[in-house]
A and B are shown apart, each in its own frame.
Chain A
Amino acid sequence: MILEIPVESYNFSAAGEAASRVKKTLQRLGIDSQLIRRVAIATYEAEMNIVIHSDGGKIILQVDEEEIKVQAIDQGKGIADLELAMKEGYSTAPDEVREMGFGAGMGLPNMKKCADRLEIKSVVNEGTTVVMGFKNQS
């Protein structure tokens, strides 16, 4: 099964819809609820990073017997220093986004905690690809 959902930059009324669709799809497939919760949190963080930090992109959900795979692919400024970006508390989120409650610098650390594997590839001024894998227990 494969599902591809576009994500717009800075569209805060639509933001979260991709993660919501991923969650509903997994529920329909009868995936364990604790596993869905981890996928939903990580996907929402990844989606918000596309909305806030990139020029737009997409979320791709792939489910097979072994793994639930979520990819967050965007075009944009990219991440210059990945190690720094992964640090808890590091954030370059602008003030207007902080007022909405984002910018704690906890998104990437949360994704790492939720996923069984996390790979990030980023090219400055091109974009970022985040791949998260979750062992499918069913």
Chain B
Amino acid sequence: MNLRDVQQLLKAQVLAGDDLLDQIEIKMACGSDLISDVLAFTKEKALLLTGLTNPQIIRTAEMIELSGIVFVRGKMPGDDVIKLAKEHRLPLLLTTLPLYETCGILYSAGLKGCSELDTVARG
């Protein structure tokens, strides 16, 4: 699925990167509110579902090259975060759904978790 499908499934608001949604293909996602967990377990090009909205989440996305971020529970990030994401061409979506439901909807639609896909992993 692409990010546009994700947006429609979650009835999400687009905060950044609307022009990119159709072209970014998503193969896996990860849901977490802990930065070290995201760094340790999220694969490249994954979609992150999170309740964290501070600027460090954009830094994290930059380090591991995420494809996009979905903010859950209707938690709107600050303008500084949206600006930073636009600079990095990182799409941001906002859904009112809680984390568990957001994950469930995408998983049911066929989006895999980061531990299920074999990419170049290092143990």
Contact = CB atoms under 8 A, between A and B. Distances in A.
B39 interface: yes
Contacts of B37: 104, 106
* Chain B interface residue bracket vs A: 20 to 34
Given A104-B37, A106-B34, 5 more contacts: A13-B55, A40-B64, A41-B40, A104-B35, A105-B36
A107 interface: yes
A100 B56 contact: yes
B59 A102 contact: no
B44 A106 contact: no
A12 B54 contact: yes
Contacts of A45: 36, 39
Interface string B60-74: 101111000000000
A110 B40 contact: yes
Interface stretch (A15-23, A57-65, A75-83): A15-23
A48 B74 CA distance: 27
Contacts of A23: 62-63
A50 B39 CA distance: 17
Chain A contact-residue range equals 20 to 34
A44 B57 contact: no
Interface of A: 12-13, 15-16, 19-20, 23, 34, 37-38, 40-41, 44-45, 48, 100-102, 104-107, 109-110, 113-114
B108 to A, nearest CB: 26
A44 B60 contact: yes
A32 B52 CA distance: 30
B44 A20 contact: no
B70 to A, nearest CB: 15
24 contacts: A12-B56, A16-B55, A20-B62, A20-B63, A23-B63, A34-B120, A37-B44, A37-B63, A37-B65, A38-B122, A41-B40, A41-B63, A41-B64, A48-B35, A48-B56, A101-B50, A102-B35, A102-B56, A105-B36, A106-B36, A106-B39, A106-B40, A110-B40, A113-B40
Contact of A20 (B50, B59, B64): B59
Contacts of B54: 12, 100-101
B56 A15 contact: yes
B33 interface: yes
Nearest to A20: B62
Contact of B55 (A12, A102, A109): A12
